[in-house]
Amino acid sequence: MLDFYLQKEEIEDLQFQNDILVAPTAHTPRKPQHIPYISSSIERQIWRRNASIAREALQEAHYLCEINNKHLTFKSNITNENFVEAHHLIPIKFQNYFSWSLDVPGNIVSLCPNCHRKIHHANKKERKIILKFLYKKYKNALSDYDILVPLDNIYKFYEC
Ligand SMILES: [Zn+2]
Ligand SMILES: [Zn+2]
């Protein structure tokens, strides 16, 4: 069953990444945002991710990988920009623990596909290194959106 859900999440993410490329760019004020509507099923709650907000985050990052801006990939045939993917630093499935939305530019990281796979699939030690790096970079933004938590909590979110 676990495998089934992991696959489902990955399929949803592929769809989400495609949606981002064609989504109009949002203009989110840099302050705490209300939690968006959720759809729930018996098995789990699904927090909606807004492709326009992710597009905004990628644009702010100039479509470069936030781990290293030299991680160039290729020009997207839709945006004609360097191809990157959007990743929620604090995973959206932990929205229940927060009073304000996690689906904000301050929590969305622009990553090259390799770094994106790494943050999801690397072993604990390697993942901690990139999480720590991104945490330092995003700390102020997380604070502006009132979703800042200690780094140790972020480590734990990725171990669930
Ligand atoms: Zn991701
Ligand atoms: Zn990268």
Q: Which amino acid is at 100?
A: W
Neighbours of ion ligand 2 (CB under 5 A): 65, 67, 71, 112, 115
CA–centroid distance, 127 to ligand 2, in Å, is 13
* DSSP states along 74-131: -B-TTT-SB--EEEESS-GGGGGG-SS-S-SGGGEEEE-HHHHHHHHHS-HHHHHHHH
List the structure tokens of 66: 């936030």
Per-residue pLDDT of the chain (160 residues; tens, 9 = 90+): 555 666 788 888 999 999 999 999 999 999 999 998 776 666 666 778 999 999 999 999 999 999 999 999 999 999 999 999 999 999 999 999 999 999 999 999 999 999 999 999 999 999 999 999 999 999 999 999 999 999 999 999 999 8
CA–centroid distance, 31 to ligand 1, in Å, is 23
Between CA 141 and CA 66 the distance in angstroms is 14
Between CA 88 and CA 110 the distance in angstroms is 9
Q: Which ligand is nearest to the CA of 130?
A: 2
Between CA 111 and CA 22 the distance in angstroms is 18
CA–centroid distance, 64 to ligand 2, in Å, is 8
Q: Which ligand is nearest to the CA of 70?
A: 2
Q: Which ligand is nearest to the CA of 66?
A: 2
Question: Which of 107, 110, 14 has its CA nearest to residue 67?
Answer: 110
